[in-house]
Chain A
Amino acid sequence: MNSIEEKLWNYIDGTCLPDEQKAIAVLIEQDEVYQKKYNELLQLNTEFAAMELDEPSMAFTYNIMETIRTENARQPLKAAIDKRIITGIAAFFVVSLAVLLIYVLSAVNWSAGSGFKMPQELNVTQIKVTHISNYFTGPVVKGFLFFDVVMGLFLMDNYLRRKNVAKQR
């Protein structure tokens, strides 16, 4: 069975059932022992509620935010890059390579080989071979190559960084 004090604390906290609450209220009104104890506990309750909270140092928030900022700065670039950007770059390469392939394939004269007849006098010196540099003169192709080089360097940097991190561990 609950002690008077326990009942009264439950009454003060409002954690007892409505019927119990009414019964205790009546007891406080009529019973002097209950009334005295109730007033004592009520005063204690007010004192406990008035307890003061401690204050941390002035730099408390600053220290936390600095730690968070430092942690965020240390995060590898990979984590900061949106996956959609990577997908976009991949899509660009796929399309570019497809366009280049179609362009090269369309430039080939497929019918040139059909009905091939060996010339009676094969004159090798007369065969005109297009120099490879002719294919790399257009600004679009140059730009494409430049982009390739940059991306290559980026991937190499990424690879070396990972290797470095693995070594440090």
Chain B
Amino acid sequence: MQSKLSDIELIEQTLGGNQSAYADLVKRHQRFVFTLALRFAKGREDAEEIAQDCFIKAYRSLSSFQQQSKFSTWLYSIVYTTAMTFLRKKRVDTASIDDDESYIQIESKPSGYDEYNVENKSRSYYLNQAIEQLLPDDATIITMFYKGEQSLEEIAQAMGIEANTVKVKLFRARQRLKERLERNLKHEVNELI
């Protein structure tokens, strides 16, 4: 069972030598950090490596955390930097979805998925599929905004850009996501017909 203590209390306990407090902190944020990493890596193994690397980096620099922002914002800035470094290293194709000829290929799903039809697939499946097709930056902004409980200013801080830029990027990312979602749904319907 996860601790009811706040992030700050868990950090203080960790700095005091209680490592299990950090394990609680990891459990609390692991799903979000892993999802963010997936926005960049696309493969689960790579995403898990990035996410683990982020938590280890965060542990090492925990004493330098000034508590001027939320721990999650600080952690997400580490995720963003680590993921960007990963992208640079791996040279993953990050072609724009505007270019229909070269959009990112979706990772093949586990067996069994092919048997699903449009009726069985939930809207969230299509949403996740559409998010995977976005540029990493767009997918990250959307994920941070909707699931990370981050304001535009906090997202800007994590990504090292201006809040206004985030606002514009969020608007564009929503538009692209909407288009991609509609296109995917339309494609599925056409296949059935």
B31:A51 contact, CB within 8 angstroms: no
Q: List 18 A-B contacts (CB under 8 A).
A: A6-B171, A9-B171, A9-B174, A47-B123, A50-B124, A51-B128, A53-B31, A53-B32, A53-B34, A53-B147, A54-B34, A55-B31, A56-B34, A56-B51, A60-B26, A60-B48, A63-B52, A65-B19
B32:A15 contact, CB within 8 angstroms: no
Q: How far is the CB of A107 from chain B (nearest CB, A)?
A: 49
| Chain A residues within 8 Å of chain B by Cβ, number | 25
Q: Which of A1-42 contact B (CB under 8 A)?
A: 5-6, 9, 15
Q: In the bound complex, what is the Cα–Cα distance between A117 and B144 (angstroms)?
A: 98
Q: In the bound complex, what is the Cα–Cα distance between A6 and B173 (angstroms)?
A: 12
Give the residues in chain A near B35, CB-CB below 8 Å.
Answer: 53-54
Decide yes or no whether A125 CB sits under 8 A from chain B: no
Q: In the bound complex, what is the Cα–Cα distance between A52 and B189 (angstroms)?
A: 23
Known contacts: A48-B174, A51-B143, A56-B51. The answer to whether A15 contacts B31 by CB under 8 A is no
A55:B34 contact, CB within 8 angstroms: yes
Q: In the bound complex, what is the Cα–Cα distance between A5 and B174 (angstroms)?
A: 10
Decide yes or no whether A67 CB sits under 8 A from chain B: yes
Q: Of B31, B124, B152, B175, which is within 8 A of A56 by CB?
A: B31
A49:B146 contact, CB within 8 angstroms: yes
Q: Mask for B169-180, Cβ within 8 A of A = 1, else 0?
A: 011001101100
Decide yes or no whether A61 CB sits under 8 A from chain B: yes
Give the residues in chain B near A83, CB-CB below 8 Å.
Answer: none
Q: In the bound complex, what is the Cα–Cα distance between A68 and B54 (angstroms)?
A: 12
Give the number of A-B contacts (CB < 8 Å): 79
List B residues at the A interface (Cβ < 8 Å).
19, 22-23, 26-27, 30-32, 34-35, 38, 44, 47-48, 51-52, 55-56, 59, 123-124, 127-128, 131, 142-143, 146-147, 152, 167, 170-171, 174-175, 177-178
Q: In the bound complex, what is the Cα–Cα distance between A55 and B170 (angstroms)?
A: 25
Give the residues in chain B near A5, CB-CB below 8 Å.
Answer: 171, 175
Q: How far is the CB of A44 from chain B (nearest CB, A)?
A: 6
Q: How far is the CB of B65 from chain A (nearest CB, A)?
A: 16
Decide yes or no whether A128 CB sits under 8 A from chain B: no
B124:A51 contact, CB within 8 angstroms: yes
Q: Of A15, A61, A71, which is within 8 A of B152 by CB?
A: A15
Known contacts: A48-B177, A52-B128. The answer to whether A65 contacts B23 by CB under 8 A is yes
Q: Of A15, A48, A55, which is within 8 A of B142 by CB?
A: A48
Q: How far is the CB of A38 from chain B (nearest CB, A)?
A: 14
Q: How far is the CB of B56 from chain A (nearest CB, A)?
A: 6
Decide yes or no whether A167 CB sits under 8 A from chain B: no
Give the residues in chain B near A49, CB-CB below 8 Å.
Answer: 146
| 8 pairs of A and B residues whose beta carbons are closest in the complex | A56-B34, A53-B31, A53-B35, A54-B35, A64-B55, A61-B26, A48-B146, A49-B146
B146:A51 contact, CB within 8 angstroms: yes
The chain B residue with its CB closest to the CB of A56 is B34
Q: Of A15, A47, A53, A64, which is within 8 A of B26 by CB?
A: A64
